[in-house]
Structure 1
C-alpha cells in the first residue's frame, strides 16, 4: 500500500525539453540498510531506494540517474535526443509517482537508452546496471546475473578509459573490488582471481584506498576457501 508520508516531491527541469515537473523522492527515514552482500548490494528494511533512482521526464522521456539528471547536455546531444526519444518506450509516459519493480526497470532501461544516444560515460552505465542488479536481486528476478554481467562490462571499460576516481567517488581499488566481487557472484572464479591478484600486486600496502584494500583481501580469502572446498 502506497504511503505518501514516506515520500516528498522535488522540482526538476528537463535538460532536453525544458519541461518542469515534480519527481517523487523517497525520504531517508523510509528505509534502512539491513545487510550488505559481498557484491555491495544492500538488503533494505522498508522501501528499496533503488526503485526511485532513475528520473524520467514525463514530457519527452529523457532519463538518467537522479544525481545526474539535470547535468548540462551539449546542443548536439540535445538534438540527437529530441530526434530519438519519440521512438522510446517511455515517451510521454509519466513514471514520476509510485513504482513497482517492473516500472522501475522500465525507468532504468530508459536511462540506458538515453545514455547510449548521448554518449554518456561507461562508469555511468556501469552504475545503472549495478543498481539494476541489486534491484533484481532484492526482488528475486532471473535477470540479476544478466544485469551483473553488463555492469562488469562497463566497469571494465571505465577502468581502461576513464580517470580515477570514477564519477569523483570510486577509487581504483574499489572498482577492482567491484569487478572481482561481481565475477565471484557469477561463479567466474578465474576472472575474480585475476582482478584480486592484480589489485594486490598494484597496491600491496593498500595506499590507494585502505578500506577497499581490506575488502579485496577479505574477498581473496573467501575465494580461496571456495576453491579449497570444491
Structure 2
C-alpha cells in the first residue's frame, strides 16, 4: 500500500463486514478445536485472529453509524449481555479448566468504552468510565483482560488514520494475549501466535477495504446463538471421538 493511503473511513459495505465476521467465527472454531481431544496445537495461530476481528467488527459498526441515533448501539449491547449469560454454561462445560468468563463480557465492555469515546453525551462517557473501572478491577476474570476491553477502541481510532497506525491495535492485541507467557515459551506456535496478534488488525482492515464486493451471507441476530451452540457441538464431537 502507498504511504499516503488511509484506512477505511467511509461506509463499510455489509458484504465485507459480514465476511470479516464469518472469518472471525471460523478462526474461533478452529481455536476451540484444540480442546476436542486431538493434537491440534497449531490451530492456536489462526485462532489468534478471532478476537481482534470481532473487535474490529464492533469498531466498524460504530464507525458506520457514527452520525446515526445511538438506540441501535444499545440494542447491540443488550444482545451481547444476554448471550454473555446464555453462553457461560456451555462455555464452562466445554472448557473444563476455564479461569475467566466467556469472551462476550469483554466485547460488551469494549463496546461501551469505544462508544464512549465516539459519543460525547454524559451517559456515554459515564458508561465508558464505568466499563473501564470494571475492566480494571476484574481484569483477571475477563477473557483477554483489560487490554482486551481496550481493543475495540484501538481499532476505532485507526479508522481515520494512515494504514501504519494499525500497529497500535496490533500491540494492544499482543498485550491482551499473555505475550510474556508466549514469549517465554519460545515455541514456534507461540511466536507465530504473537505475530498473528500483531498483524490481525491490519489484515482485517485490509479485508474491509478491498473486499467491498464480497457476497458473504448477512449475519443477523440469530448469529449470537452460534457462540453457545458451537461449544455444545464441539463438546459432542469430543465425546464422540473420546
Superposed pair shares fold, TM > 0.5: no
| TM-score, normalization by structure 2 | 0.29
| TM-score, normalization by structure 1 | 0.30
Say which one has the larger Rg.
Answer: 1
Q: Which has the higher contact order (CA 8 A, sep 6+)?
A: 2
Structure with more strand by fraction: 1
Structure with more helix by fraction: 2
